[in-house]
Amino acid sequence: MIFVFSALNIRTSGARISVIEPTSDEESPDTPYREVYSQALTWAEDGIGNYDDTDAWMKAIEGLLEGTSNHWMGGDLETIRSICVSGTSASCLMVDRQTQQVTRSPRMYNYDILVAAPEKSGETAAKEAMELLDRHAPPRHTARARTGSLAKLLAWAKEKPLDENEMLCHQSDFISMRLLSQTMPLKSDWHNCLKLGYDVRQLKWPEWLVSCLREAGIPEPVEVTRGAIPVDVVSPGLPLGTIDKSMAQRLGLSPDTVVVGGTTDSNAAFFAAAGTTPSYGTAVTSLGSTLAMKQLSQTYVEDADRGVYSHRFPNFKHPEDEAWLVGGASNVGCAILRQLEFSNEELVELSGGIDPMKDSPLEYYPLTKVGERFPVADSNKEPILEPVPATRQEYLHGILQSIGNVELEGFAVLQELGAPAPTIVWTCGGGSKNEMWSKLRERRLAERFQGSSIKVRKAECTEASFGAALLAAASFEFKA
């Protein structure tokens, strides 16, 4: 029997499943796994519910597995050996640890506790939560973000004291918990817990966080049976436990199916593009509505003032070696092309007339609105979209080059902080389809990082569900 592996990705637009199986060395020596089935459901279009509704999440999971059972040709859900769940970063909710019922509704990845405070008392609670963070969290720490899961937990506690059985779940934690058991204590993973304050270098909850929770009146994570945050935080891809038997029967899965540590959707997208064993210097740039960058580094880097953070990379092949997924996300991106009313046909036609070996004399900062996150965190950063040249082709050349400049500066900041120069940049998102733009970016990156041989290539696989499926397989692949 060929064992296969599966992943469930819960994202803003909907949910997706990927099922993968091993390939042979003769068949595909550079690609150890292939996707044998995939299906996506969209919240509104498929009538599942809203993206921030936990019932909709579970309904989507059941729908995806049912669809897999019905349409995966020649496949059997009972051959699935492990499952990995990925979700949006810092999307979290509160549940009762004994009943696993939701006690406080999800606050999603983009929920800013100061902006989205529900009422006057909520505004006060949010301000008190941020004051706690200012007193306890180290300068420039990722957990200081107003959209982070720690900020949301503190705001909840300030709005109304937590019950002794209340605990925080990230989106992927919640799905994994439901798959595992109705009674099993909550576990989580390095990637989801980064913005909750977990020390990914020492692999423990830091003292400053314990002090912060204590001052907020939140139970500390000292025992499995109490505390509002997970006691056990494991590597993404490492087993959390075996699926609950009744849940396995309900979903048509084997009772031996293993649920592994989850991840965030952006990290899962890195694994999809670069695999789980890339070399140092491998990077993935997403050119979607906004620009996001991640790169594998031997060096841990962090600077919240420049929007830089590090996720611990699960090094299955050599677990004794530290590796870091470093990067950041800019507000610059392809959304500006829509704002400037470039059609798809116009983008193709005009790009064909641009010479990627020549620089545009125009310099812009193509934001759609005020505010930047990376490579500098500046909430007052203004868009620069002028002067407008005589032709649309000149304008497009300047805009695309300027978006590339933000990517270039991002890599320069990462190198300044200790990361290596990029060696290969896998590109995903809509912008990856523009071959001229890839050549332009490759040339300018090579000029900036002299002496480096840098390649910019379109990623073949970009779906987060595929990357999470690779995680589901990884701990089995490298098991001694």
- pLDDT tens-digit readout, 310-358: 999 998 877 778 899 999 989 999 999 999 999 999 999 999 999 999 9
Q: Record the tokens describing residue 244, joined without a space.
A: 């609950």
Which of 232, 252, 287 finishes a domain?
Answer: 232
Task: Look up residue 375 and give its DSSP letter.
Answer: S
| Amino acid in position 248 | A
Q: What is the pLDDT of residue 1?
A: 40
Whether residue 217 lies inside any domain: the answer is yes
223 and 322 both lie in a single domain: no
Q: Which residues of the chain have pLDDT under 50?
A: 1, 224, 480
Q: For residues 17 and 253, what is the distance between their CA atoms, to the nearest angstrom?
A: 14
Does one domain contain both 302 and 203?
Answer: no
* Domain identity same for 341 and 395: yes
**Rounded CA gap, 126 and 158, in Å?**
8
pTM: 0.89
- Show Cβ contacts of residue 420 under 8 Å, excluding neighbours closer than 6 positions: 280, 281, 295, 297, 298, 299
Tell me, yes or no, whether 217 and 119 share the same domain.
Answer: yes
The two tokens of residue 167 are 């605990």
User: Does residue 391 sit in the same domain as residue 448?
Assistant: yes
The string over 292-311, giving b where at least 16 C-beta atoms fall within 10 Å of a residue's C-beta and e elsewhere, is bbbbbbebbbbbbebbbbbb
Pair 215, 337 in one domain: no
Q: What is the DSSP string of 105-174?
A: EEE-TT--TTTS--SHHHHHHHHHHHHHHHHHSPTT-GGG-TTSHHHHHHHHHHHSPPPTTEEEEEHHHH
Within a domain: residue 159?
yes
* Amino acid 127: pLDDT: 94
Count of residues making up the chain: 480
- The b-or-e profile of 220-255 (16+ CB within 10 A means b, else e) is bbeeeeebbbbbebbbbbbbbebbbeebbeebebbe
DSSP-derived secondary structure for 381-413: PPPB-----SSHHHHHHHHHHHHHHHHHHHHHH
Its domain, for residue 156, covers 92-167+198-232
| DSSP state letters, 412-442 | HHHHHHTPPPPSEEEEESGGGG-HHHHHHHH
Q: Residue 388 sits in a domain of what CATH number?
A: 3.30.420.40
Q: Which helix (H) or strand (E) holds 226?
A: none
Residues 307 and 445 in one domain: yes
Under a CB-based contact definition with an 8 Å cutoff, are residues 174 and 192 in contact?
no
Give domain status of residue 83, yes or no: no
Assess if residue 63 is contained within a domain. Answer: no
Per DSSP, what are the bridge partners of residue 294? 284, 327
Q: Are residues 213 and 353 in the same domain?
A: no
Which tokens go with 55?
């019932």
Same domain, 441 and 300: yes
What pLDDT does 182 receive?
67
Domain count, the chain: 2
The pLDDT value recorded for residue 215 is 95
Joined tokens for residue 383:
């868009």
Distance (Å, whole) CA 202 – CA 253:
36
Cα angle for residues 401, 402, 408 (degrees, 5° grid): 85
Residues 226 and 283 in one domain: no
73 in a structural domain = no
Q: Is 368 inside any structural domain?
A: yes
Does any domain span residue 380?
Answer: yes
Q: 223 and 282 share a domain? A: no
Cβ atoms within 10 Å of 433's Cβ, excluding its own: 15
Rounded CA-CA distance 122/75 in Å is 50
Give a yes or no: residue 173 inside a domain. Answer: no
Q: Are residues 306 and 402 in the same domain?
A: yes
